């Protein structure tokens, strides 16, 4: 995913959720000053492999979801999904986080040599300033949803979960599986529900870009397809 392709979708997200591009860019610039370049070739081993993109929904604790993660060749965990999987004895190959829930886990993983994709956006600058310097820089990939600058990358995606899927695709992953995902969670607040709706749209877009079908979208594909037609029409 290059930013020129992602930018129109990014602009639509900003407009829908009322977020500020200038704030995202300011956060990116703060992160750039605290980061070093990351060698994306470290993910070459994901090419053609089955990658589990683990979400942080409560269902991740179910035996079947843990099994699906365990059976994958590579596990990319979004946010607190890493803690659930590690507790269950499932190795995590990459953590994708915007630093809002479990930054201590991210620190521990980088210290163990596990890559962490740490995301900077307009609402988390204090966390970026506090936590990025604590990570082992050799194992930290810093990301943005704005235009990439210097050591800060944009591989696509918006929420931790769908950004993890875009990262896996960027690395050439073969089959993607999605343990621990739930788009309709009555426990989340209205803003989180809107973000989850965007995560579904972005996964639907990624399906199209890959010529793929993700089972996680089966129960809402008609809705996602309609929304994508409106979003992507010339």
Q: How confident is the model at residue 131 (pLDDT cuts 50, 70, 90)?
A: very high
Answer whether residue 222 is part of any domain: no
Answer whether residue 228 is part of any domain: no
Answer whether residue 234 is part of any domain: no
Q: What are phi and psi of 173, to 5 degrees?
A: -55, 150
Q: How confident is the model at residue 7 (pLDDT cuts 50, 70, 90)?
A: very high
Residue span of the structural domain in which 85 resides: 3-186
Answer whether residue 169 is part of any domain: yes
CB atoms within 10 A of CB 201: 25
CB 200 within 8 A of CB 224: yes
CATH assignment of the domain containing 106: 3.40.50
Tens digits of residue pLDDT in 9-27: 999 999 999 999 999 999 9
Does this model's pTM top 0.95?
A: yes
What pLDDT does 149 receive? 98
Domain count within the chain: 1
* Closest residue by Cα to residue 68 from 218, 214, 193, 189: 214
Answer whether residue 60 is part of any domain: yes
Q: How confident is the model at residue 1 (pLDDT cuts 50, 70, 90)?
A: confident
The angle formed by the CA atoms of residues 121, 126 and 131, to the nearest 5 degrees, is: 95
What pLDDT does 187 receive? 82
* Four-residue CA torsion sign, 196, 192, 76, 120: positive
* Strands of the 152-153 sheet, one edge to the other: 152-153, 140-144, 116-120, 94-97, 74-78, 51-54, 176-177
Answer whether residue 219 is part of any domain: no
Tens digits of residue pLDDT in 71-84: 999 999 999 999 99
What is the separation, in whole angstroms, between the first and last Cα of the chain? 19
Q: How confident is the model at residue 233 (pLDDT cuts 50, 70, 90)?
A: confident
Q: How confident is the model at residue 44 (pLDDT cuts 50, 70, 90)?
A: very high
CA pair distance 219, 133, nearest whole angstrom: 42
Answer whether residue 208 is part of any domain: no
Answer whether residue 155 is part of any domain: yes
């Amino acid at each position: 995913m290059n930013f020129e392709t992602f930018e129109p979708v990014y602009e639509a997200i900003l407009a829908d959720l009322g977020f500020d591009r200038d704030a995202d860019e300011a956060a990116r610039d703060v992160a750039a000053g605290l980061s070093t370049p990351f060698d994306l070739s470290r993910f070459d081993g994901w090419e053609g492999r089955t990658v589990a993109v683990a979400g942080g929904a409560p269902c991740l604790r179910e035996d079947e979801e843990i099994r699906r993660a365990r059976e994958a060749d590579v596990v990319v965990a979004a946010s607190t999904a890493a803690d659930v999987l590690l507790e269950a004895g499932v190795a995590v190959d990459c953590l994708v986080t915007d630093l809002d829930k479990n930054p201590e886990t991210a620190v521990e993983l980088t210290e163990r040599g596990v890559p962490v994709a740490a995301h900077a956006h307009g609402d988390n600058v204090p966390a970026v300033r506090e936590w990025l310097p604590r990570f082992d820089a050799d194992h930290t990939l810093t990301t943005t949803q704005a235009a990439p600058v210097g050591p800060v990358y944009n591989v696509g995606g918006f929420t931790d979960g769908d950004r993890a899927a875009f990262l896996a695709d960027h690395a050439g992953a073969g089959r993607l599986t999605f343990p621990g995902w739930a788009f309709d969670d009555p426990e989340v607040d209205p803003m989180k529900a809107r973000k989850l709706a965007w995560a579904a749209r972005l996964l639907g877009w990624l399906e199209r870009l890959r010529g793929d079908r993700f089972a996680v979208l089966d129960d809402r594909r008609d809705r996602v397809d309609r929304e994508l037609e409106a979003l992507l029409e010339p």
